[in-house]
Structure 1
């Protein structure tokens, strides 16, 4: 399985582990290292007296303690398993209390302001015993014994310690992931600054890895696109410079009267005219490709009958094919097929396919031009295809590259053509919600364009 944990699960797991470790560590520190610190006798004694005994003491001072019945009734109301309260004389004789088991208090403990504090086990945990004696009035003293846990604020201190240790351990556990996020951030910054060969190292098996993979994929695509762009401009410069150099060369020869007859001059002019027209066609292709690649192009769609459109195109192109020693064979279905498309762009796509077949077909062969209708992914498509026998052997890599911009099978780029014709076809069909296809069928090369048809 590619992903074991989601990042969220890993963080929750790290938080649970951090909490368990911090609790265990704090318990250990409390039991064996900080017990006496956490259970400060002064604070705990003060807490017990002020929060538990002070009100009783104030009530007794305001009460007639010589009324033994009323006094005992009051003491009975103060029953508690945490503390025992005694009203005693100086000699330790008990006048009233909330504990009937203890009959007397040692006289040496009856001293105003005397108090004791001690832990009730060897580990000095939070269980303590506190005694205190305070003078009330009329020769009577308040003596109490408290057995319970220490000052509750110590619990807050323990909680604070657990929280601090938890934060430290949690960040230690996730620190590598935080560092990895920083690494991703710095790599993305380097890529945006032009270092397209940079890649994020792949770690973990969560969303961070998926993010790194996506960034690396994006970087490789951008790097490839940058390489293609540089190659694109290089090829444009080459394709434009070649005819332009020829034109300028003949202009210079004419200016310097380097011709022997009017026929030779006219020949120079014809060559310049051909090169000029070729240059114009290339510039038109570059402009068309740029326009089709933009996001603001608006299609002017209209209802077109594919059968009639193909028939008209075939009639217009047939003579030119015959002059080159090629036969253009048209095959139309019996059913009439309609599409909704931008007429100019769709015609450009069809003409580009026929032009490609015209340029690269073996002489004395037939170029098949056909129309039919096919169902693909439950959608009806009008399919227009051009099939020809090329004069050069076509490899699988050629098939994959035919629709790439500026691709020419002739790597020396000596043959005329911008290399954008089939790329323009692909972009036109994409804008119309269609697609293109190329494959070999025996010795024939088949180009198909698919356009959603009207039913």
Structure 2
């Protein structure tokens, strides 16, 4: 009955371990597995000791040796060194060595008892009086180790030492049981955590594959502990690297396309001029004018690439100055208003009554404003208003100076467009027919980030809004 109960407990503990493996943190899981392993191994060792190892105890040779060495050998040495022919002195010594579990006799060859620590026994079976003879047997099933030992050794002068021991045997199983418990604990603990070890190996192999270029590899998510969090982080890292690799390839392709197109045009017109393929000076001037525009466009693109590279290196030094935003907005609006009017757009400026001061690198911050206005200028619907606003807002309990540019775009803006506006070389026109490096908004984002701020893009009714938040 007890064995069945123990087995039921083992099954329950295993079930609990399997169910809780997705709840605990890794450290708690290991502690729990160690406790479960200790309990299971303890019950298993008890079971083995009582029901399996008991069958081997009857063959034990340790008990007679232990009893003789620790209880009899000293008496035997004393008897060999004394005058055992002096019966009164001999009996007095034997009385002193009285022990209920071990009866000791000095006998003659015929079995007659000369002295003993139990005076009730006068004779020993003559067949037992043989030098070196010993017997050992358990008196029951052996589960409590109760045994009987007899032994006969020759002393001297024709006398023998004979003793009978009835008691619990000294079976040298304590160390064996301890070692068995440790081994069993280690095996069970290893089995319980084997899946986690295998999972760590899986994570390791996946990371190696990612490092070797298999960027699509992902670690399967199995646990809700630190291993699971590590797997999520590795998968996130792999997706970011994969996205960056894709972006890098697109970056190189787009650079090639954007640089080759104007360069091809310039080289084409140069070849026409060299071969005198023009009919008049006005046609020649037109060729030169086109080359000039393409050259300026090419220079602007290269400037954008250089600016983006410099801002992405994170080692740029900001030369900050204190600026008043309202005054800056007025100056920019005055400079840009005519150009907007010529394209059929109205540039509207909205300023607060209070002055708003910020500390920025003037050249870089001016680049932010110009890029946002340039973006609105290129992609606004004709006969619409481009709004340029300055204000203050509280965001996450922090005051910010806010510069906002909103416009009504020519084409519908999708959710994907909003998410990708600040990606390098992103153009809504996937055919890349419209001029522009595709780096303007990426440069804006990097400049704002360098100043400790952030930028948001969102739709408001039919308007596209860009908001720059700068710490006041």
What TM-score do you get using the length of structure 2 for normalisation? 0.85
The match for 2:189 is 170
Deviations 1:233-274 (A, max 9, x none): 211211111111111111111111111111111111111111
CA distance, structure 1, for counterparts of residue 326 and residue 155 of structure 2:
118
Contact kept? 2:24, 2:224, Cα under 8 Å: yes
Contact kept? 2:106, 2:160, Cα under 8 Å: yes
The 10-residue stretch of structure 1 (300-309 or 405-414) with the greater mean CA deviation from structure 2: 300-309
Q: Residues 440 and 157 (structure 1 numbering): CA distance in 2 closer, same or farther, change over 3 Å? A: closer
CA distance, structure 2, for counterparts of residue 251 and residue 147 of structure 1:
121
CA distance, structure 2, for counterparts of residue 439 and residue 192 of structure 1:
37
The 10-residue stretch of structure 1 (164-173 or 373-382) with the greater mean CA deviation from structure 2: 164-173
Matched, 1:118 2:118: no
Note the 1:38-437 alignment, pairs <5 A.
40-63=59-82, 66=86, 68=88, 72=92, 76=96, 83-90=101-108, 91-93=111-113, 95-97=115-117, 103-104=121-122, 106-108=124-126, 109-123=128-142, 126-137=145-156, 141-437=160-456
Q: Residues 79 and 9 (structure 1 numbering): CA distance in 2 closer, same or farther, change over 3 Å? A: farther
CA distance, structure 1, for counterparts of residue 61 and residue 271 of structure 2:
110
How far does residue 227 in structure 1 lie from its aligned partner after superposition? 1.6
What TM-score do you get using the length of structure 1 for normalisation? 0.88
Q: Residues 396 and 56 (structure 1 numbering): CA distance in 2 closer, same or farther, change over 3 Å? A: same
Q: Cα RMSD (Å) of the superposition?
A: 2.9
Deviations 1:203-249 (A, max 9, x none): 24433233222222222222222222212221121111111111111
How far does residue 313 in structure 1 lie from its aligned partner after superposition? 2.1
How far does residue 202 in structure 1 lie from its aligned partner after superposition? 2.6
How far does residue 67 in structure 1 lie from its aligned partner after superposition? 7.6
Q: Residues 415 and 214 (structure 1 numbering): CA distance in 2 closer, same or farther, change over 3 Å? A: same
CA distance, structure 2, for counterparts of residue 419 and residue 403 of structure 1:
9
CA distance, structure 1, for counterparts of residue 26 and residue 112 of structure 2:
69
- How many residue pairs get aligned? The number is 449
CA distance, structure 1, for counterparts of residue 60 and residue 313 of structure 2:
81
Q: Residues 7 and 145 (structure 1 numbering): CA distance in 2 closer, same or farther, change over 3 Å? A: farther
How far does residue 439 in structure 1 lie from its aligned partner after superposition? 2.2
The 10-residue stretch of structure 1 (355-364 or 117-126) with the greater mean CA deviation from structure 2: 117-126
CA distance, structure 2, for counterparts of residue 430 and residue 6 of structure 1:
36
**Gaps in structure 1 of 5+ consecutive residues:** none
How far does residue 4 in structure 1 lie from its aligned partner after superposition? 1.5
Deviations 1:110-146 (A, max 9, x none): 4432221112223566443222233445665443333
Contact kept? 2:107, 2:161, Cα under 8 Å: no
CA distance, structure 2, for counterparts of residue 147 and residue 177 of structure 1:
53
Q: Residues 406 and 94 (structure 1 numbering): CA distance in 2 closer, same or farther, change over 3 Å? A: farther
CA distance, structure 2, for counterparts of residue 297 and residue 150 of structure 1:
85
